[in-house]
Structure 1
């Protein structure tokens, strides 16, 4: 005759005879080991960032780079572009009133959200946290951004728009 206990116990329990309490228990030694490994991994990652910034600094933008034709961007509009051969930093070109042209990095200085030009208020807006920048200078008007947007110098030649590193950026 069969045992009553064997009828109530599933077959898989005999194949895996580990009690639940033992399986979920983590000893102090195991916890300290994983905490040490995790802390070490963070330290190595931070060290790699420091080494990269010290031995491989970012190069400043050199020369003039073609962006578009003047006719491609109407007054009050924004044009997004990337510069070939440089890091993957997006830029914006803004055609302001009085035929003024401005170019800035498209990454907000707060948390690197993409900024956009709003012609209705004549300001550059970061929609993530409602930060606003002056469209003429890139200076912070309102919100959490800690500093102005990095700016490029716009050069107009024969109906074409070029950008180059601003004089402020070259002296740094």
Structure 2
């Protein structure tokens, strides 16, 4: 008998029952290495499939794409006194907005959904501030920037012009940081 010197290179069981059974009857078509290759491939396909959407978002955020908005009459100048406000819908009928007459020829319009949690914003004539009653947020009427409360971003401003004795909405200004 051979001396094994503490090293036994013999297989303790018959090879057919111990090492080669993983290939019998398609028992393991997908092992760990195959699974990882599949997952990396799926992640790559997912990453590549999101590139068109990322390109569209970058185009919008960088200002390479400008939206055009239809003009809409908000109110006649004669029906709105200095310090008063008028609610209207713009750019669509489902988006509420607020026009404020701050001076003789000074008009400001904003989308009136608070930038914190989209609660409606109201004009407080006495305090000359725009107020979000949900969490006591306040916005400056001249700039739309938050002055108090949880909101951190200004309200989206709507561009307005005065034509033929009426205030007309012409578009939504891009968000500036």
Query: Per-residue deviation at 1:158?
Result: 1.6
Per-residue CA deviation, residues 39-98 of structure 1 (Å, 9 max, x unaligned), is xxxxxxxxxxxx9xx5x99994513211111112111111001137x2511001001134
TM-score relative to the length of structure 1 = 0.60
Please tell me whether residue 106 in structure 1 is matched to residue 134 in structure 2.
no
TM-score relative to the length of structure 2 = 0.58
Indicate conservation of the 8 Å contact 1:123/1:132, yes or no: yes
Whole-Å separation in 2 of the counterparts to 1:166 and 1:83: 9
Instruction: Specify the alignment match of 2:168 in structure 1.
Output: 162
Point out where structure 2 has 5 or more consecutive residues left out of the alignment: 1-49, 61-65
Point out where structure 1 has 5 or more consecutive residues left out of the alignment: 1-50
Indicate conservation of the 8 Å contact 1:61/1:165, yes or no: yes
Whole-Å separation in 2 of the counterparts to 1:95 and 1:150: 17
Query: Which one has the largest radius of gyration?
Result: 2
CA gap 1:134/1:153 in 2 versus in 1, 3 angstroms:
same
Whole-Å separation in 2 of the counterparts to 1:61 and 1:78: 25
* Number of residues of Structure 1 aligned to a counterpart in Structure 2: 117
Question: What value does the CA root-mean-square deviation take over the aligned residues?
Answer: 2.6
Aligned partner of residue 174 in structure 2, secondary structure? helix
1:124 to 126, 130, 135: 130
Instruction: Specify the alignment match of 1:153 in structure 2.
Output: 159
